Structure 1
Amino acid sequence: MAATKKVIFETLQNLKSDDFKVFIWHLENPTDRIEPIPESELENANRQTVANLMVKQYTDEAVNIAVKVLRDMKQNDLASKLERKLQEVQQPDQVDGSNAPVSVRQLQPIQSNWKRPDRIIPCTQSKEKILRENRDDVYKMNKSQRKGLALLITNIHNRPGAERDEENMEWLLKALGYRVEKHTNLSGKEIEDAVENFAALPDHKDSDSTFVVIMSHGNRIDNRDVIFGAGVSYTGPDDYYFVDKIFTCLNSVNCPALIDKPKVILIQACRGCHPGGVKISDSTRGTYADDSSFESDAWVHKEKDFACFMSTLPDTAAWRIESGSFFIIYIMEVFCKWAHDSHIMELFGKVTSDMAKHPGREDIKFLPCIERTSLTKDFYLFPGL
């Protein structure tokens, strides 16, 4: 953390007195989903104190938040210089790669300069082997390759890195053979209309599966997950869309064209404010054989053939860097490497495992969540055919 404080402090030293006051104002009145630093703590604070407060409040995200505030202030040159320092700031706090397990070494490159893989490993002979050995337990394909529509909704406004998520997810869906219907910066009502119109498309009759991907700010209201509309104020009363409405739109009653066909839902959004980690006391540590273990639940509900994967656990925040959200980045990594011979639930499991092992620091932890899943067979994507 000392290195993080240092680069933020050095950056703040480049701000003139009036600009530094504006920087402090942004920390007291953030426009994004950021917990404000109390005005009482920032009153008469110098640059060193502000750097210390930011690291204390935001830990792993302190540099990213400093970059965002600088861009909001139109201090783009200073923000770019700080971004270039981000990787070298993060690296010393991670596990030493020379002695780390292979899985940890593979996770280290996923930082602000991450780039998606060049290609998906194609399914070749593995398809015939899978179908031959498990034909009755695998969702059928119409012809020689998967065919279907995909709905992609991305709210980029006030979400740095979201444009990368949109670009990468559109690339992935098309590489898997889906025809993508894309929408950007929709209000809550517009999201509802887009999902309903997508469910009514006649082309679903000739498809064998579908994807619905929504990426935005989010929260939980009345114990239900919501997606916020683009540009929503977090005190706004009604600009949101309930996630569970997707299941209603695509169920057997309202979308009979997708009966017995896999319906994959991916949601990248916060589901609360908790950073995801808890501090375990020394007396508690060692209670379990493996302190790093975790349990995940797959809930089975009345809707048939759904697979829903959400970026984080209920009441917990999701996290992004300049390269995009960790959830989408790990999906890209896992799908490109393993979709050729792993079915969708195995892919979700690999994403969950990799995110849980991500070398996060202190209270910020990453763990996606499988929700409302009711697949009755194995769903293979068979890419590259």
Structure 2
Amino acid sequence: MEKTIKDYLVDALDDLSSENLKKFKSKLCDRKVEPRVRRGNVEKLDYTMELADLLINTFTTRSAVHVTMEILTAIGCNQVAEDLKRDTESDGSAPQPQVQNNSVTAPQPEVQDSAVPAPQRSAAVATTPPGSYDQPDTSAALIPSSLEFKQAILREQGQKIYPVLDKAARKRLALLINNVEFDHEDMKRNGAQRDEENMEKLLRGLGYDVVKRTNLSGQEMDEAIKSFAGRKEHAESDSTFVVIMSHGKRDAILGVHYGVNNPNDVLPVDSIYSHLNSENCPALINKPKVILIQACRGGENGKVWVADSEPDQLWNMESDVWEHKEKDFISLLSCTPDTKSYRHKLNGSLFIGFLVEVFNANANKDDIEELFRQVMRRFEEFGMLKQMVCKDRTTLLKLFYLFPGL
């Protein structure tokens, strides 16, 4: 079987003595260049394979080799570094690193999820200095819920919690749309592939089969959501996730053909709710529907006119069976209206990164609204780049616990 980059990294780490491996871990934690690795995540690793996974998850497969060679050289393991360089270069998998002051550097975060026309895109690049903020940590594994916790919370909360079907019987589905490549080359969403990987891994860990679509026009996104809403599996499910990642403006998500000459290639956000509401998706009535949107929001401000027309006549109506047209939704958007959403060229967006970090650590014990609050607090603590996620059109009537693993 042909060796992978991970195999070469493991081989290099296995060549180190116990003392040099400790030096390697310490030097890795001491790096001041973004993305940085938390000491606690390194110290708990017992095997070189786990360390190789951490390197790849943090720096991407392509950059992990160069970071490893940098550290090996710094601790005096020059021969191991040379062997790793030779093996990966002969394999053709490792590109040349960007070197600055003898250290490997990752590209800086950029703003490319807004509705900025392509010719103006270069003005939207963030210039945050490296090492000045704590980036999302998506390397940790999703912590499963314990059966004892689930039984206890169900006893305490009872009817206040959305029912969760048995793992063996349910058929959970999630839709993941990721627009990366656009007609305008400088609208390419570098780093969005990492978001897709992290989000898919999280959704599958939460028990959802993931329907993935990439590089869609506005109409194709609309058709994908409509088709997803009609899936028969929803009748045997207890919830769903719809995740859309693209460029955007205030009330719409941009398709891959969007541009000055094609300004109508968009998906109105309203269409997502329309396709999944009680009328058009009856299989998901009374079941949580989670909408996650990673995209900038531009355009108009938050003012709204309220009509003072005569209210609808609701008196003397005959009783009948009915459902609220829009109910049991909860949405988290990557930024507030009129603001931008930040994404790293290699490591993906802050929104997906912080969301995955929070869910991995706390979905085993917190309901989804509390998890969303933790994501919001994560942005508040972050501070360096002014971005704040926000909940929108939340109509959950009960607590939604994901109970990962159960």
TM-score interval (norm. to shorter): 0.5 to 0.7
Residue identity opposite 2:219 in structure 1: K
Choose from 208, 211, 221 the match for 2:238: 208
Match for residue 237 of structure 1?
Answer: 263
Q: Which residue of 113, 133, 139 corresponds with 1:117?
A: 139
The CA deviation string for residues 58-94 of structure 1, in whole angstroms up to 9 with x for no partner, is 5xx137xxxxxxxxxxxxxxxxxxxxxxxxx422x45
Secondary structure of 2:273's counterpart equals helix
| CA offsets 1:39-72 (integer angstroms, 9 cap, x no match) | xxxxxxxxxxxxxxxxxx75xx137xxxxxxxxx
SS state at 2:356 partner: helix
Q: Percent identity?
A: 47
Offset, 1:116: 1.8
- Match of 1:194, as an amino acid? A
Aligned partner of 2:176 among 127, 140, 152: 152
Q: Which amino acid in structure 2 is aligned with residue 239 of structure 1?
A: D
> Displacement, 1:30?
8.0
Provide, for residues 184-214 of structure 1, a one-character-per-residue CA deviation record: whole Å limited to 9, x for no partner.
1001110000000000111110100000000
- Aligned to 1:173, which of 203, 207, 213? 203
Runs of 4+ in 1 over 3 A off after TM superposition: 29-33, 144-147
Matched length: 263
Question: 1:303 maps to which residue?
Answer: 326
Residue 229 of structure 2 corresponds to which residue in structure 1?
Answer: 199
Cα distance in structure 1, aligned partners of 2:297 and 2:159: 37
Conserved? CA contact 1:172–1:332, under 8 Å: yes
CA distance in 1, matches of 2:299, 2:340: 5
Instruction: Give the 5 Å matches for 1:51-90.
Output: 58=125, 61-62=126-127, 89-90=129-130
1:251 maps to what in 2?
Answer: 277
- 1:336 aligns to what? 360
Per-residue Cα deviation, 1:118-149 (whole angstroms, up to 9, x for no partner)? 31111002111111111110000121477411
CA contact (8 A) 2:205 2:404 kept: yes
Name the SS of the counterpart of 1:34 in structure 2: helix
CA contact (8 A) 1:117 1:332 kept: no
Secondary structure of 2:202's partner? helix
Q: Secondary structure at the match of 2:224?
A: helix
Counterpart-to-counterpart distance in 2, 1:311 and 1:264: 14
Amino acid at match of 2:281: C
Cα gap change, 1:270/1:233 in structure 2, threshold over 3 Å: closer, same or farther?
Answer: same
Residue 35 of structure 1 deviates from its aligned partner by 5.5
Pair 1:32–1:175, CA change in 2 (3 A): farther
Name the amino acid aligned to 1:382: F
Report the CA distance shift for 1:378/1:147 in structure 2 as closer, same or farther (over 3 A).
farther
Q: Is the 8 A contact 1:177 1:383 kept in 2?
A: yes
The separation in 1 between residues aligned to 2:214 and 2:244, in whole angstroms, is 10
Aligned to 1:366: 387
Whether 1:324 aligns to 2:348 is: yes
Counterpart CA distance in 2 for 1:378 and 1:250 is 20
Residue 241 of structure 1 aligns to a residue whose secondary structure is strand
**Given that residues 137 and 354 in structure 2 are in contact (C-alpha distance below 8 angstroms), is that contact kept between their aligned partners in structure 1?**
no
- Seen in structure 2, the aligned counterparts of structure 1 residues 234 and 331 have a Cα distance that, compared at 3 Å, is farther
What letter is aligned with 1:255?
A: C
Query: Which position in structure 2 is the counterpart of 1:104?
Result: none
Alpha-carbon spacing, 1:33–1:126, altered in 2? closer, same or farther (3 Å): farther
Contact persistence 2:376–2:390 (CA under 8 A): yes
Secondary structure in structure 1 of the residue aligned to 2:332: strand
Once the two structures are superposed, residues 156-190 of structure 1 have per-residue CA deviations (whole angstroms, 9 ceiling, x without a partner) of 12001100001110111000000110001001110
The alignment partner of 1:183 has SS state of strand
Structure 2 residues not aligned, in runs of 5+: 1-32, 34-98, 101-115, 182-187, 301-323
Quote the residue 1:377 is aligned against. 398
Larger of the two Rg values belongs to structure: 2
Q: Which runs of 5+ in 1 are unaligned?
A: 4-9, 12-28, 37-56, 64-88, 95-107, 275-300
Q: In the aligned structure 1, how far is the partner of 2:368 from the partner of 2:355? A: 11
SS in 1 for 2:274: helix
2:76 aligns to what?
none
Tell whether the 8 Å contact from 1:120 to 1:384 is kept in structure 2 after alignment.
no
Task: For residue 193 of structure 1, give the secondary structure of its aligned residue in structure 2.
Answer: helix
* Whole-angstrom distance in 2 between the partners of 1:324 and 1:143: 34
The TM-score with structure 1 as length reference comes to: 0.64
